[in-house]
């Protein structure tokens, strides 16, 4: 019994050494939440915004998803000068859908990007081409993804917020649409890996390497984007939005990442398998991070998101009548971390549209997917994607 208590205490002590610093880092970030910028709300355009924005949407075989995006952009007001759809030779009828909208809204323009250079990833290449062909009279460049569903008043709200807050670049987190049971369980756990690693949406980071961004809705001053060479500094990045935002921030420009759940939605992937495969392999953000920052993030996720549930299950499955002081401290710490996790789940609930979801109640059980989500980040962190959105890239590393 004495030897078991010694072993138990030693293991608990080692785990506490791993978890206590990580828990302190996490809490220091979460405590900034109450002071964050409030969520954006739809706003009506004013005459001073006329023709101030060029919108660019990259597409590749998006016929099944682009309809709501085109409709939502068409409902934006006169602040939108043009909407450029940059298509990469889609074979599913995507261009025909754009042409149909173009008949009723002359602001829409369809173009095909040039052949993809060997050192570029497809998405930043399409956005770069769209930027080069956009009007120089627009003050702002807005990149939107084809799977987004913009609400009326989105663009006006973005510009007014950027002007009021003095942002040179501002991107938004969306409201995610969940449909299947697997998504409801896994997707919030994957999203939580970002919340644990970075500041909450609405909290500005003072360190360029910790800046967050979302390319699904990415507004930048045209002059700033021209100064940094468009998307060329993020040309080989599979997380080009974060890479570009951090490059812009490092040059002294003000970058914001805000809550946009009330101004646009997104339907990213179909089912848990596609969510695991597609979204999971870009969430590590290794293309936008140094090796030291990546290892720091992996340690943090392992300590405060992956470990609490297994540790508490261990106490439950193998109860002991006698616990060492270190074991009691470990039990208390991980109980606290699990309470924090469920509190954060409640906080992010407005970021999800589960109105049409089957098994939507599984959202509330997503903390039990945390070890799996962290495993996905680890797997992605040490592999370079070889396939992305129907394109092949290089060889596995």
pLDDT over threshold 50, residue 396? no
Nearest to 305 by CA among 345, 337, 339: 337
Nearest to 85 by CA among 65, 66, 64, 72: 66
**Within a 10 A sphere around the Cβ of 18, how many other Cβ atoms?**
14
pLDDT of residue 394: 62
Average pLDDT, the chain: 93
pLDDT of residue 279: 84
What is the Rg, in whole angstroms, of the alpha carbon atoms belonging to the chain?
Answer: 22
Domains of the chain listed by start with CATH number: 2-34+291-383 (no CATH), 47-180+199-288 (3.90.550.10)
324 falls in which pLDDT band (50, 70, 90)? confident
User: Exposure pattern of 377-392 as b/e (b: 16+ CB <10 Å)?
Assistant: beebbeeebeebeeee
Question: Nearest 5 degrees, angle CA 324-CA 325-CA 327?
Answer: 65
Phi, psi values for residue 194, rounded to 5° = -75, -40
Distance between CA atoms of residues 174 and 259, nearest Å: 7
Distance between CA atoms of residues 308 and 88, nearest Å: 45
Say which range, 40-44, 189-193, 199-203, 368-372, has the weakest mean pLDDT: 199-203
pLDDT of residue 160: 97
320 falls in which pLDDT band (50, 70, 90)? confident
pLDDT over threshold 50, residue 395? no
Distance between CA atoms of residues 243 and 198, nearest Å: 15
Distance between CA atoms of residues 216 and 153, nearest Å: 16
**Within a 10 A sphere around the Cβ of 364, how many other Cβ atoms?**
15
**Within a 10 A sphere around the Cβ of 5, how many other Cβ atoms?**
14
Distance between CA atoms of residues 173 and 217, nearest Å: 8
Please give the model's pTM, rounded to 2 decimal places.
Answer: 0.93
User: Exposure pattern of 101-121 as b/e (b: 16+ CB <10 Å)?
Assistant: bbeeeebbbbbebeeeeeebb
DSSP assignment letter at 208: G
pLDDT over threshold 90, residue 20? yes
Distance between CA atoms of residues 50 and 282, nearest Å: 36
Distances (CA, A) of 119 to 189, 236, 238, 295: 33, 6, 12, 26
Region of 51 (left: φ > 0; alpha: ψ -120 to 50; beta: rest) is left
Listed in sequence order, the residues at least 6 apart from 2 whose beta carbon sits closer than 8 Å to its beta carbon are none
> What is the arithmetic mean of pLDDT over 319-344?
92
Listed in sequence order, the residues at least 6 apart from 370 whose beta carbon sits closer than 8 Å to its beta carbon are 189, 192, 305, 306, 308, 309, 341
Listed in sequence order, the residues at least 6 apart from 360 whose beta carbon sits closer than 8 Å to its beta carbon are 178, 184, 354
pLDDT over threshold 70, residue 387? no
- Beginning with the edge strand found earlier in the chain, give each strand of the sheet holding 148-150 in spatial order: 148-150, 264-266, 175-177, 352-353
Distance between CA atoms of residues 199 and 214, nearest Å: 14
Give percent of the chain with pLDDT exceeding 90: 83
> What is the arithmetic mean of pLDDT over 124-141?
97
Nearest to 354 by CA among 178, 230, 231: 178
User: For 60, how many CA atoms within 13 A lie in the half-sphere containing its CB?
Assistant: 14
CB–CB of 228/248 below 8 Å?
yes
> What is the arithmetic mean of pLDDT over 374-386?
88
Distance between CA atoms of residues 35 and 330, nearest Å: 31
> What is the arithmetic mean of pLDDT over 331-335?
97
pLDDT over threshold 70, residue 183? yes
């Amino acid at each position: 019994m004495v030897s078991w208590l010694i072993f138990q205490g030693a293991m608990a002590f080692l785990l506490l050494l791993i978890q206590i610093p990580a828990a302190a880092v996490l809490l220091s970030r979460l405590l900034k939440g109450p002071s964050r910028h409030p969520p954006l709300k739809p706003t009506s355009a004013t005459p001073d915004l006329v023709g101030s924005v060029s919108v660019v949407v990259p597409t590749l075989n998006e016929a099944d998803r682009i309809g709501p995006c085109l409709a939502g952009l068409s409902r934006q007001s006169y602040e939108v000068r043009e909407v450029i759809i940059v298509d990469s030779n889609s074979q599913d009828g995507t261009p025909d859908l754009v042409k149909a909208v173009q008949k009723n809204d002359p602001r829409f323009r369809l173009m095909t990007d040039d052949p993809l250079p060997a050192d570029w990833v497809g998405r930043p290449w399409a956005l770069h081409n769209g930027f080069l062909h956009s009007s120089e009279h627009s003050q702002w460049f807005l990149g939107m993804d084809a799977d987004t569903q913009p609400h009326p008043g989105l663009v006006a709200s973005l510009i007014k917020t950027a002007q009021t807050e003095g942002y040179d670049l501002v991107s938004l987190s969306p409201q995610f649409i969940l449909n299947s049971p697997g998504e409801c369980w896994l997707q919030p756990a994957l999203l939580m890996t970002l919340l644990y690693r970075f500041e909450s949406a609405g909290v500005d980071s003072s360190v360029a390497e910790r800046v967050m961004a979302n390319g699904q809705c990415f507004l930048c001053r045209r002059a700033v984007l021209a100064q940094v060479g468009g998307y060329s500094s993020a040309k080989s990045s599979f997380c080009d939005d974060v890479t570009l935002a951090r490059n812009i921030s490092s040059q002294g420009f003000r970058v914001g990442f805000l809550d946009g759940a009330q101004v646009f939605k997104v339907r990213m992937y179909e089912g848990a398998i596609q969510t695991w495969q597609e979204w999971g392999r870009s969430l590590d953000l290794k293309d936008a991070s140094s090796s030291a920052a990546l290892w720091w993030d992996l340690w943090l996720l392992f300590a405060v998101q992956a470990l609490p549930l297994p540790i508490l299950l261990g106490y439950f499955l193998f109860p002991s009548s006698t616990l060492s002081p270190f074991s009691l401290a470990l039990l208390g710490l991980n109980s606290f971390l699990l309470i924090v996790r469920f509190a954060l789940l409640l906080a992010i609930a407005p970021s999800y549209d589960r109105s049409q979801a089957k098994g939507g109640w599984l959202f509330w059980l997503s903390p039990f997917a945390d070890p799996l989500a962290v495993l996905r980040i680890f797997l992605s962190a040490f592999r370079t994607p070889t396939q992305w959105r129907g394109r092949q890239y290089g060889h596995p590393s």
